Amino acid sequence: MAALTALTVIDLAHDSVRDLNRALHQAGPGTSWRIEHPDGAHNVAVGLTEDLDVVIDGPVGYYGAGMNQHATVTIHGNAGTGVAENMMSGTVRVRGSASQSAGATAHGGLLVIDGDAAARCGISMKGVDIVVGGNVGHMSAFMGQAGRLVVCGDAGDALGDSLYEARIYVKGKVKSLGADCVEKEMRAEHLAELAKLLKAAERDDAPAGFRRYGSARDLYHFKIDNSAAY
C-alpha cells in the first residue's frame, strides 16, 4: 500500500478490500484516494464517515460505497447490486450503469448514475436524491418514503409502487405505474427543484421535458375496499 501523500493510491491487485477499507476509515478529512484494479470486488469503499475524495478506477461488485457519510466517491465503471445502499450523506457517482437496488434505503446525499439502473432503483429510499442518466428497471422507488428520483430516460413497470412521499421525475416513457402512484402537476417549485438536482448531477436536460409522479395517498391506512391493491 502506498504511503499517505496528497493522493494515496491503493491497488487491489495487491492489497485486500479489508485493508483498503481499514485505511479509508482511518484517514483524515480532506484526503484524496485512488483505487486501482477493483475488478468487480464487493464492499469497496464502504462505511466512510469523513470528507474524503475517493476515485475507483474500474467496476465494483455488491454494495460499493455503501453506508456513505460525507465522502465523495466516483466509480469509473459499472456497479453491482446495492451501490450506495443506506447512504446518509455525501456524493456517489457511477460513471457507468448500476445493477438492482441502487441507493436502497438511503437516507440522504446524492447518488448519480450516468448510465442505466436496473430493477428497484431507490427501493425504500428515505431522503436520498438519485439522478439516473438513462433508464430504470421495474419497481423503481418501490415504497419510497422521502427524497427525489430523477430518471432522464425511461422507467419500467410498477414505477413508485406503494410510494409514500418521495417525488419522481421522469423524462422518458413510463411502462406502468405501481399501486398508489399517480402523475401529478409540474408546478414552478417542482421545475426549480428539478433544475437544482440536474445541475448537481452535472446534466443539461431541460426540466420542462420531465413529468412528475407521486403518491395518491390512498394506501396510507388499511381500507378493506383497497385490499386488492396491497
- pLDDT digits over 168-177, tens only? 999 999 999 9
pLDDT at residue 223 greater than cutoff 80: no
Distance CA(96)–CA(102), nearest Å, equals: 13
Q: Is the pLDDT of residue 1 over 80?
A: no
Half-sphere exposure of 5 (CA within 13 A, CB side): 8
What is the reported pLDDT for 227? 62
Write the pLDDT tens digit of every residue in 127-180: 999 999 999 999 999 999 999 999 999 999 999 999 999 999 999 999 999 999
DSSP state of 2: P
Instruction: Classify 19 as helix, strand or coil.
Output: helix
Cα–Cα distance, 25 to 27 (Å, whole number): 6
H runs (alpha helix) in 154-215: 188-200
Cα distances (angstroms) measured from residue 13 to each of 60, 90, 141, 153, 160: 13, 27, 36, 36, 40
What are residue 32's DSSP bridge partners? Answer: 7, 53
Q: If we measure between CA atoms, which residue out of 146, 152, 145, 211 comes closest to residue 177?
A: 211
Angle in degrees, CA 147, 209, 182, rounded to 5: 50
Q: What is the pLDDT of residue 218?
A: 82
- DSSP secondary-structure letter at 93? E
Q: How far apart are CA 217 and CA 115, in angstroms?
A: 31
In this structure, the dihedral spanned by the alpha carbons of residues 199, 204, 208 and 214, taken in order and rounded to 10 degrees, is -50
28-45 pLDDT tens trace:
999 999 999 999 999 999
Mean pLDDT of 94-119: 98
Residue 132's pLDDT is what?
98
pLDDT, mean of residues 185-192:
97
The three cell numbers of residue 219 are 394506501
Smallest CA-to-CA distance from 102 within 50, 150, 30, 37 is with 150
For the sheet with 211-215, list strands across it: 7-11, 32-36, 53-57, 72-75, 91-94, 110-113, 126-132, 146-151, 167-170, 211-215, 181-184
- Of the candidates 78, 81, 138, which has an alpha carbon nearest to the alpha carbon of residue 104? 81
Q: How far apart are CA 162 and CA 145, in angstroms?
A: 9
Mean pLDDT of 53-73: 98
